[in-house]
Amino acid sequence: MADRYLNFTGTAPGRFLTRRLGLPQPAPLRRWSAEHPSLEGQLLHFTAGASTYRKELSDLLARTGHPGLTVRGSLSGGGSGRPAAVVVDATAVTGPETLAEVHAALHPVVRTLAASGRVIVLGAPPSADDHHQAAVQQGLEGLVRSLGKEIGGGRTVNLVRITGPSVAPAESTLRFLLSPRSAYVSGQVVEVGAAEGELAIPEDWSQPLAGRTALITGAARGIGEAVAETLVRDGAQVVLLDVPSAEADLAKVAERLGGRALPLDITADDAGERIAEFTGALGGRGGLDALVHNAGITRDRRLANMPAERWSSVIDVNLTSVLRTTDTLLKAGGLHRGGAIVATASIAGIAGNAGQTNYAASKAGIVGLVRSLAPRALAEHGVTVNAVAPGFIETKMTAAVPLFIREAGRRMNSLAQGGLPVDVAETTAWFAGAGSGSVNGQVVRVCGQSLLGA
């Protein structure tokens, strides 16, 4: 659905009027396109404290293709034009003095950052033994989330925690966050672990899913369709699953994307077995490299007025079927080592929402599933488990929301606009890509840093 307010504020009179009235100022976001696949402009790399990653990170950032400038502390002269991105390595910040170096690095440059630019702070996990380090590393979260709220202009600010001895496993994450693909991801904290065994690196970073097969549930329309399209763009073969009543739409999407359609109600008792059978019989080595649990429904009503079947229909589709098919496919070896499971939560599951006890329980359930299963799935099956948690996304579902509530949902985030299905799809593609094997157990909100659940 068109965001008329965003279009209006893009005109000179619209900007003048809305600024005068103190109304939100959404900036058009730079999303990925074949013509403009990357952010254009210089990348500034600062180091706070004595980071052991300095050289390795500088080499990694150079590989992303941005003309770079590595600076030890804060910038004095040097750097030309408006930078597209600023990366501050704060992994060695252990006390308030080194935390001040993060401020010193960012203070002179945030104002110069190009529209739709990126700020990425690299942190370390807060230590259980050193409360000074823990305090300031946690402090980075407050800094990042606050800067995300004040920076404006379609710019995003995120924190990446490096938990292993090398930054190499963070390459896919840094590439994602430094690209137009992450346009609607802001105010997030992402943890990147150590590589399990040898780190998988895609031959071609523009095709991180080349040679991989992905199944997407709920793919006949909306976010699922966008996920399928984005995974195909990134090189994947796709299997598209949706309810038999959506078969005609599903077939159209499958034909357009060169994928296979699997009409199937995901709540069927044997859905996992049928997926395993269908994908096992695909050509080549068969089986899946990515399983995207996207199908979801809402049946809103306040708890006092909610009959049992309204409760259970939502739990069945959004949670029980995810638990059951995941278990079946992992047990049957239906996912190859190096594969990924991506589930769909929601900010409603994080913040709660009146009238959505069933939906929020199912989506918070996804968060619980991810946190518990991720370490075991990686250790036992070599498969990562992560979730996207969309905020307000412009779909048929949100177009049906009454105008006033819709406008509030759209504007109540740092980017002052709704996201698009492709924004959720881009985050899913990053989780599912061959280079993301060290991103595990993460729940990343694709919500423009929504105020809900913040």
Kindly list the residues in this chain that would bind ligand NAD in the complex (CB under 6 A).
217-218, 220-224, 242-243, 246, 265-267, 294-297, 317, 344, 346, 390, 392-393, 395-398
Q: How far is the CB of 267 from ligand NAD (least distance, A)?
A: 5
Single out the catalytic residue among 5, 53, 184, 359.
359
Question: Which residue, among 146, 158, 137, has the nearest Cα to 91 in the 3D structure?
Answer: 137
Question: Which residue, among 435, 423, 446, has the nearest Cα to 175 in the 3D structure?
Answer: 435
Q: How far is the CB of 273 from ligand NAD (least distance, A)?
A: 15
Cβ proximity to ligand NAD, 155 vs 363, nearer residue? 363
Q: How far is the CB of 57 from ligand NAD (least distance, A)?
A: 34
Q: Could you give the CA distance from residue 299 to residue 296 in angstroms, rounded to a whole number?
A: 10
Name every residue whose Cβ is closer than 8 Å to that of residue 440 and which is 6 or more positions away in sequence.
193, 374, 375, 378, 384, 385, 386
Q: Could you give the CA distance from residue 134 to residue 124 in angstroms, rounded to a whole number?
A: 9
Q: What are the E-state strand segments in 52-179? A: 68-71, 85-89, 118-123, 156-162
359 is catalytic: yes
Q: How far is the CB of 443 from ligand NAD (least distance, A)?
A: 12
Q: How far is the CB of 297 from ligand NAD (least distance, A)?
A: 5
Cβ proximity to ligand NAD, 51 vs 298, nearer residue? 298
The Cβ-side half-sphere exposure at 362, using a 13 Å CA radius, reads 27
What does DSSP assign to residue 169? G
In the three-class reduction of DSSP (H, G, I as helix; E, B as strand; rest coil), residue 71 is classed as: strand
Q: Could you give the CA distance from residue 173 to residue 160 in angstroms, rounded to a whole number?
A: 8
Cβ proximity to ligand NAD, 169 vs 218, nearer residue? 218
Cβ proximity to ligand NAD, 99 vs 446, nearer residue? 446
CA dihedral 131, 451, 191, 339 (to 10 degrees): 160
Cβ proximity to ligand NAD, 48 vs 275, nearer residue? 275
In the three-class reduction of DSSP (H, G, I as helix; E, B as strand; rest coil), residue 10 is classed as: coil
Give the residue numbers annotated as catalytic, written as ranges. Answer: 359
